[in-house]
């Protein structure tokens, strides 16, 4: 059986701090453990396992809404589409990879910088909802939507340039231009 490849899933900037405060994820040496660790690397977690974990965290319908793994994924997909993020980027974030498609065979980009920014904006959006603030992209004018997308592209470019610089590739790239 081939080994299952683990997808890289960027999170928002605050998640590592939040996770490091969870007593369930810290080992006795103070190190952050895997959030979803599987002792059998050749198998993926089943949907039932995640749903059971959600029930143990209180998402069982007793004191809060009954939620499932697919429910969280649907919520994220719908919300990110409402925020007008690129659908390919959303599908990558949710690890919806169609390995049989011609596009996926030739396009192996991971869009990590863009997905990091997307997750930061998603976390900020969820924080605003928690505070009773809402933002509807459906009510934006075309010019406002163009401005939001331009700001996202600029932020993404800055992240990408920092990444290239940290890898020592920025100077080589600039010399070729």
Please enumerate, as own/partner, the contacts of 79-86 that have beta carbons within 8 Å and a separation of 24 or more.
Answer: 79/122, 79/125, 80/118, 80/122, 82/136, 82/137, 82/138, 83/121, 83/122, 83/125, 83/137, 84/137, 84/145, 84/148, 84/149, 85/118, 85/121, 86/114
What digits encode the pLDDT tens for the residues 73-105? 888 999 898 888 888 889 888 887 666 666 666
Q: What is the pLDDT of residues 30-61, one digit of tens each?
A: 665 666 666 666 666 777 888 888 888 788 77
Residue 64, CA distances (Å) to 54, 58, 99, 107, 155 in order? 11, 7, 37, 41, 36
Average pLDDT of the segment spanning 6-29: 69
Rounded to a whole number of angstroms, the CA Rg of the chain reads 19
* pTM for the structure as a whole: 0.62
Q: pLDDT at position 129, please?
A: 83
CA 29 to chain CA mean position, Å: 28
pLDDT exceeding 90 applies to what percent of the chain? 2
Strand, coil or helix: 22 = coil
Task: Give the distance from CA 48 to its chain's centroid.
Answer: 22
């Amino acid at each position: 059986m081939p080994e299952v490849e683990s997808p890289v899933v960027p999170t928002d900037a605050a998640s590592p701090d939040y996770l490091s405060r969870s007593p369930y994820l810290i080992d006795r040496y103070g190190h952050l453990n895997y959030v979803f660790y599987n002792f059998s690397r050749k198998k993926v977690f089943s949907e039932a396992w995640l749903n059971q974990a959600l029930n143990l965290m209180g998402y069982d319908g007793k004191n809060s809404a009954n939620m499932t793994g697919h429910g969280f994924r649907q919520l994220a997909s719908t919300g990110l589409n409402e925020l007008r993020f690129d659908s390919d980027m959303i599908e990558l974030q949710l690890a919806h990879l169609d390995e049989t498609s011609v596009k996926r065979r030739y396009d192996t980009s991971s869009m990590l910088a863009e997905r990091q920014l997307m997750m930061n904006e998603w976390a900020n959006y969820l924080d605003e909802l928690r505070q009773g603030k809402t933002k509807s992209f459906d009510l934006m004018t075309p010019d406002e939507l163009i401005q939001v997308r331009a700001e996202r592209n600029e932020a993404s470019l800055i992240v990408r340039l920092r990444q290239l610089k940290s890898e020592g590739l920025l100077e080589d790239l600039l010399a070729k231009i």
